[in-house]
Amino acid sequence: MTRRLRLFLRSSSITSGKQIVVYQSLFTARQFSKATVATCLVLLIKRSNYLLRSTSLAYHFGWFRVNSTDLYGRLLLCFGVISVEAQNQQFRKDYKYLAETQSFYKIHTIHRTWKDAKNRCALEGAKLFYPVDQEEANAVIALWNTTQPSLHWIYIGVSDLLSKYVFETIDGTPIDDVYNHWSPGEPNDADGVEDCVVFGRTGVLNDDACHKRFPFICKKRQDAIQWNVFCDMPYPSYFYNAELGKCYKFHLNPLNWTTAYGVCAAELSYLTIINSDKEADFLVQMTAAADKDNVSGNYMRGVVALGFHNRDQEGWKTSKGK
């Protein structure tokens, strides 16, 4: 039987001025009686990094499903992910928050092609940076000069890859509507191959070939963060298994083992390591439920990468070295 439960507060609403995190709680079915709508007790833990967007917890949680075949004595799990916003320095530890722009930035010193830079930022849950206006350009240049003064040019999220000479941001905004201080004589599309844009430490733009490798900056706007409360990370696509106390995500994009390892690392995670029969059973169920049969391409069907390897030819071990 499936019952819908709506979360209400027994007393007054919690105002947006209080900083809290709401975690899942276990209840017996007797606490719910036979009502379709019941009051969920929740565990409220004060933390300094989260702030509810609204004054009502019920507004955030909405409706929940609790599956049960026995209304008397069975433990039920009432859970949900609330909408929270991070305050100041809460996104990833390797990103720097700038109050002037209310955004987080990470300077990547490893040179990549424009496409690889864009993809790397996406893996980290961010976007390839481009300055929106003079204020942001100044703020980022100040961070740049303070932390990486040896870098002279970086890729930004602007190109004319969709249509020659039509420079747009990765969000589809025309270059004329954002920061567009081109270096004198630029863009000039030298040799007909300069379709991506680089940003100089002096504040000017230049078009360059997309296959060249440059450093780059990733950006995450504060108001775009979706914090996964149960997994304590900025990736809402991870699912928390309360019984195992771990978070999981099934990736449907086929990758080789080393690339998969890197993708997980970019998401502050690691390839799954099976530690018990219970975890193995859960992973079997998760794999069976994944929409993997509709994934096209030439890859090893029925095979899922795990965190075990013998890459150093010293015997099989986990990616944690055990």
Its domain, for residue 258, covers: 245-318
H-helix or E-strand containing 144? helix 134-147
Quote the pTM value. 0.72
Same domain, 158 and 41: no
Q: Are 102 and 218 in a shared domain?
A: yes
Split into its structural domains, the chain has a count of: 3
* pLDDT per residue rounded down to tens, the chain (322 residues): 333 333 333 322 333 333 333 333 333 333 333 332 333 333 333 333 333 333 333 333 333 333 333 333 333 333 333 333 434 448 999 999 999 999 999 999 999 999 999 999 999 999 999 999 999 999 999 999 999 999 999 999 999 999 999 999 999 999 999 999 999 999 999 999 999 999 999 999 999 999 999 999 999 999 999 999 999 999 999 999 999 999 999 999 999 999 999 999 999 999 999 999 999 999 999 999 999 888 988 888 888 999 999 988 889 999 988 8
Residue 232 resides in a domain: no
CB 218 within 8 A of CB 126: yes
Q: Domain boundary residue among 222, 254, 286?
A: 222
Q: Are both 115 and 201 inside the same structural domain?
A: yes
In the listed set 33, 65, 86, which residue is the last one of a domain according to the structure?
Answer: 86
Rounded to 10 degrees, the C-alpha dihedral 159/161/165/166 comes to -70
Same domain membership, residue 130 and residue 58: no
Is there a contact between 304 and 287 (Cβ–Cβ < 8 Å)?
yes
